[in-house]
């Protein structure tokens, strides 16, 4: 078993980019990959856009070709209404650009609604403004027709989520599919503080090593936009965070030594001192109940704003 591959996983393209920057020369890193940064508003909202443009970039970053947009801010995990409003507004604008011209949309909330860290998708769906059943909505200029579903997980239904979604897509023929899911992160600082938007689809459960059939344009036959927020971190990744903090507290020499190690060396070192059973554990912040509810509302507000009005 490749422990590093199995248990140091991250769903975030931004974290893979950061890791790649540490291990590659700048010129080599930017082959097939472009990165742009900007700050939005006055509440500390930051946006990073990563574009993987060819096979070289795809191979380097380990992600499919496409666009990966990361929105993040310290205030996202808290109860700052102004920040969450800015986040919702910008999310609506991003969705409007990614889904330009798409008139029939299907939103899917992935995950187990009975397990709090995995309940993000179902909670977002619960608060969406669905319109497919409303007579006359199709005539509202600029507003897409929306259907939504939280299909549960395989343990609840006995079916692959991808099978359920594929069947619905074939029945109602949406112009695009938008999937919302909880993700895994390598850095504890990004838990509940980051939203990733991509146009490459998603593999449900991949963040915790429970990968199911992928939901992508290739498998579904329509464009797939993925929205995700990291809610869990593996014990090995958390241990790396702790070691980083410990070494930083011991002075520059110790900090420089540990930070100079490649990621693979850090995990090999941790593999020697951690009990093997710990490598299979994932943890989540203690305030996850309130955080997931708050963030799901922010996502649903952004989606509803996009659905009910033109956003440029």
How far, in Å, CA of 177 to CA of 155, rounded?
23
- Is residue 270 in a domain? no
Alpha helices in 174-224 (DSSP H): 217-220
User: Which residues, listed in sequence order, are joined to residue 52 by a DSSP beta bridge?
Assistant: 33, 66
**CB 126: neighbour CB atoms within 10 A?**
15
Q: What confidence tier does 5 reach under pLDDT thresholds 50, 70, 90?
A: very low
Over residues 122-166, the pLDDT tens digits come to 999 999 999 888 876 665 666 889 999 999 988 899 999 999 999
Taking all residues of the chain, what is their mean pLDDT, rounded to a whole number? 85
Over residues 177-190, the pLDDT tens digits come to 999 999 999 888 99
- Is residue 198 in a domain? yes
Task: List the CATH number of the domain containing 224.
Answer: 3.40.50.1450
- Is residue 19 in a domain? yes
- Is residue 47 in a domain? yes
Number of domains in the chain: 1
Over residues 199-255, the pLDDT tens digits come to 999 976 554 555 568 999 999 999 999 999 999 998 888 887 777 777 777 777 776
**What range defines the domain where residue 195 resides?**
3-231+285-308
**Average confidence (pLDDT) over 271-278:** 72
**CB 20: neighbour CB atoms within 10 A?**
17
- Is residue 258 in a domain? no
- Per the model's pLDDT, the better-predicted residue between 2 and 121 turns out to be 121
**Average confidence (pLDDT) over 284-297:** 94
- Is residue 103 in a domain? yes
């Amino acid at each position: 078993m490749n422990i590093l591959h199995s248990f140091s996983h991250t769903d975030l393209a931004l974290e893979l980019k950061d890791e790649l920057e540490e291990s590659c020369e700048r010129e080599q890193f930017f082959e097939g990959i472009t990165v742009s940064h900007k700050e939005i508003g006055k509440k500390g909202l930051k946006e990073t856009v990563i574009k993987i443009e060819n096979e070289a970039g795809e191979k380097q970053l380990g992600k499919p070709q496409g666009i990966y947009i990361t929105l993040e801010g310290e205030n996202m995990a808290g109860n700052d209404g102004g920040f969450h409003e800015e986040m919702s507004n910008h999310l609506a604008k991003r969705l409007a650009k990614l889904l330009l011209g798409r008139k029939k949309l299907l939103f899917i909330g992935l995950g187990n609604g009975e397990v709090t860290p995995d309940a993000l998708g179902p909670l977002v769906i619960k608060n969406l403004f669905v319109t497919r059943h409303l007579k006359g909505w199709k005539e509202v200029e600029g507003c897409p027709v929306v259907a939504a579903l939280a299909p549960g997980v395989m343990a609840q239904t006995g079916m692959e989520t991808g099978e359920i979604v594929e069947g619905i897509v074939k029945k109602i023929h949406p112009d695009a599919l938008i999937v919302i899911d909880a993700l895994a992160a390598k850095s504890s600082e990004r838990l509940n503080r980051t939203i990733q938007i991509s146009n490459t689809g998603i593999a449900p459960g991949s963040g915790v090593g429970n990968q199911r059939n992928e939901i992508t344009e290739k498998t579904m036959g329509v464009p797939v936009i993925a929205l995700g927020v990291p809610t869990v971190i593996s014990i090995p990744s958390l241990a790396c965070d702790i070691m980083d903090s410990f070494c930083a507290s011991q002075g520059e020499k110790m900090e420089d030594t540990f930070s100079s190690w490649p990621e693979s060396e850090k995990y090999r070192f941790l593999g020697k001192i951690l009990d093997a059973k710990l490598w299979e554990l994932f943890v989540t912040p203690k305030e996850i109940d309130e955080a997931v509810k708050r963030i799901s509302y922010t996502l649903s507000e952004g989606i509803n704003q996009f659905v009910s009005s033109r956003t440029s």
